[in-house]
């Protein structure tokens, strides 16, 4: 149908994939098909499936996904089709996007790698992308098809591992006192150097570091942490000794 200017617009009957043909992934259930046969995933429907409790929190990976698409020379407006959904009969419109398969894949890849829901989204859209590639290619040996899907999933898992490592380093830096980069919490030092992070172990390290510091005529420096409340920080040289002694 068309609007008052005669421009073609989509009919409001975009339909979800019937439940009887939906696969096990919840991302299949939210997939929509336009009258012209093109598919998309509503960004607001993606939000809870990716483990984000608020739309504002999903906006960060969504913005990064758009930037990635632009840098790769993709049509951002076409892949991230902006729309507004009316909340109630008189409520204000809500920002939303119709994400192409490529856009949804980029959103998943820019999500928080620590969320298992994000990892599931990454695996799903990696597989969907591979399926689309195979559908456009000449018929192949079924074993080659399976190998290709495994290669795609393996590459995706490797990327997740890299992102997790980067996150661990960032978390360690955040745990250090700003402006005093040679002072760390026991947790921050453990994350940065690959030590165990269970509380009993870190408590023993903290007790030993405190004893070492007081023997030098000094004391731990407390600071406030959003998760753990008041925590102590120690010089990196003291923590090196404390971790070495407790680990024996």
Tens-binned pLDDT, residue by residue, of the chain (248 aa)? 444 444 433 443 454 444 333 456 888 899 999 999 889 999 999 999 999 999 999 999 999 999 999 999 999 999 999 986 545 545 567 889 999 999 999 999 999 988 889 988 888 888 877 777 666 655 556 777 677 778 877 877 777 777 766 666 655 555 544 434 577 888 888 888 888 888 888 889 889 989 998 898 888 888 776 666 788 888 888 888 989 988 86
How many Cβ atoms sit within 10 Å of the Cβ of residue 235?
A: 19
Angle between helices 199-215 and 236-246 (to 10 degrees): 120
Q: Which domain holds residue 88?
A: 15-134+141-173
- Give whole-number Cα distances, 212 to 206, 207, 245, 246, in Å: 10, 9, 11, 12
Q: Could you tell me if residue 197 is inside a domain?
A: yes
Residue that has been written with the tokens 């975009």 in this structure: 14
Residue with tokens 């120690």: 234
Asked if the structure places residue 58 within a domain, the reply is yes
Q: Are residues 209 and 122 in the same domain?
A: no
pLDDT for the residue numbered 171 = 57
107-137 pLDDT, tens digit each: 999 999 888 899 888 888 888 777 776 666 5
* 188 and 73 within one domain: no
Would you say residue 10 lies in a domain? no
- Assigned domain for 3 exists: no
33 with 17: CB under 8 angstroms? Answer: yes
Long-range contacts of 200-209, Cβ-Cβ distance < 8 Å, separation of 24 or more: 201/246, 204/246, 205/239, 205/242, 205/243, 205/246, 206/232, 206/234, 206/242, 208/241, 208/242, 208/245, 208/246, 209/234, 209/238, 209/239, 209/241, 209/242
Residues 145 and 231 in one domain: no
- Please state the domain count of the chain: 2
Residue 152 domain-assigned? Answer: yes
Structure confidence at residue 94 (pLDDT) = 83
Same domain as 214, residue 164: no
Of the candidates 151, 46, 163, 160, the residue with the CA atom closest to the CA atom of residue 101: 46
Q: Answer yes or no: are the C-beta atoms of 29 and 17 closer than 8 Å.
A: yes
Residues 239/205, Cβ–Cβ less than 8 Å: yes
């Amino acid at each position: 149908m068309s609007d008052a200017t005669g421009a073609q617009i989509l009919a409001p009957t975009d339909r979800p994939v019937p439940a009887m043909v939906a696969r096990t992934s919840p991302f299949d259930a939210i997939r929509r098909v336009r009258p012209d046969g093109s598919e998309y995933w509503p960004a607001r429907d993606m939000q809870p499936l990716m483990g984000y409790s608020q739309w504002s929190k999903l906006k960060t990976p969504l913005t990064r996904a758009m930037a990635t698409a632009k840098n790769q020379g993709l049509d951002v407006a076409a892949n991230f089709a902006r729309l507004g959904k009316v909340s109630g009969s008189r409520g204000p419109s809500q920002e939303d996007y119709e994400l192409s398969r490529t856009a949804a894949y980029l959103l998943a890849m820019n999500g928080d790698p620590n969320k298992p829901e994000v990892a599931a989204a990454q695996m799903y859209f990696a597989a969907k992308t591979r399926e689309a590639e195979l559908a456009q290619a000449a018929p192949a040996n079924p074993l080659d098809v399976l190998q290709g899907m495994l290669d795609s999933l393996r590459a995706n898992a490797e990327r997740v591992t890299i992102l997790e490592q980067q996150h661990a380093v960032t978390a360690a830096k955040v745990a250090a006192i700003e402006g005093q980069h040679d002072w760390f919490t026991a947790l921050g030092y453990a994350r940065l150097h690959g030590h165990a992070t269970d509380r009993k172990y870190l408590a023993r390290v903290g007790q030993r570091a405190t004893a070492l510091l007081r023997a030098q005529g000094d004391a731990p420096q407390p600071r406030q942490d959003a998760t753990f409340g008041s925590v102590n920080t120690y010089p990196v040289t003291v923590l090196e000794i404390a971790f070495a002694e407790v680990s024996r």
